[in-house]
Each structure stands twice: as structure tokens, then as C-alpha cells.
Amino acid sequence: MATSFYVYESLEDYMKMYKQDGEDPLSQVKLIDLYVVPNLKLIVVTNTNNQKERLNMGKTIIHARNGILPEDLRETAKLVKYESIIFDIKKKKLYFNKKFLRKAQFETKVDRFFGNLEKGKVKIDFDSRFYDFTRDRINLLL
């Protein structure tokens, strides 16, 4: 099963979905960093495992669970910087490192949007990015 992206308009919408989980540590893991690899891959870095692991490079969205990016990818991967994730509400797509009048380095569809916004492009709040291990889901707040 592939990793899905859920976008929430506010913290209240997010808490409605996750109130039954309570304080489960695997349902709200903070994302440390996001990296884009030139051959259209997104690397999600979390700090949940201290052991060395081998990444599955066959997937489009790769998880590095030990908190650091592997050395062989450090030269080619580009960090997704602050306020460079844009959500297009009409098309329901996320754009990573989008430049003015240029194509984004990585784009993906949003599986579910919780909110009342109808049009426009909104930047994602960088402090409120979570990964849910129990449902294999990345949760982003506007």
C-alpha cells in the first residue's frame, strides 16, 4: 500500500480525526526533513529508529526512519525548505520546491482534504507536519 497525503485546514480538523488515538506515539511522529531526489522521489526523514536500515529505493516516497539521510543520497537530494510546499486546492495537488514560472521538483496528489476552502494555492505550515505509521499517512496542516 502506498503512502497517502492528508491535508487539514486547521488544527481542530486534525484533532477530530485523531481524537480516538489519544497519545499513541506512532500515530503522530514529527517529520524532521523532506528531501527531493532528481529522479522524482521524495524522502521523508523521521526519528523513530536508531538502527541502520536499508532504504527501499523502488518506491516514489521513501522513509528514512533513523533521523539522517544516507550518505549516497546527500549529494543528489535537495532539501525542501521552509514555506516551499504549496497545496493547490482546486487540483488537489502538493508541489514541492515550486519556482515561479517553472515546474515543481516533485508533485503528488492529495488523497483527502479536510476543510472548506474552494480555490487557490496555500502554503503548508512547516511546524505541523506529521507521519502516521499505523495508517501509512503523511498529515499536513495549512
Q: Give the start-to-end residue ranges of the domains of the chain.
A: 4-141
Beta bridge partners of 108: 94
Strands 93-96 and 106-109 come out as: antiparallel
Q: State the Cα–Cα distance between residues 77 and 37, nearest whole angstrom.
A: 4
User: What confidence category does residue 68 fall into, taking pLDDT thresholds of 50, 70 and 90?
Assistant: confident
Calpha distance 16→123 (Å, rounded)? 22
Q: Is 109 strand, coil or helix?
A: strand
Q: How confident is the model at residue 123 (pLDDT cuts 50, 70, 90)?
A: very high
pLDDT single digits (tens) 9-60 = 999 999 888 877 767 778 889 999 999 987 789 999 998 887 777 888 888 8
Q: How confident is the model at residue 130 (pLDDT cuts 50, 70, 90)?
A: very high
What is the separation of C-alpha 46 from the centre of its chain, rounded to a whole number of angstroms?
A: 11
CB 99 within 8 A of CB 107: no
How far is residue 142's CA from residue 125's CA, in Å, rounded to a whole number? 5
- pLDDT band of residue 1 (cuts 50, 70, 90) is low
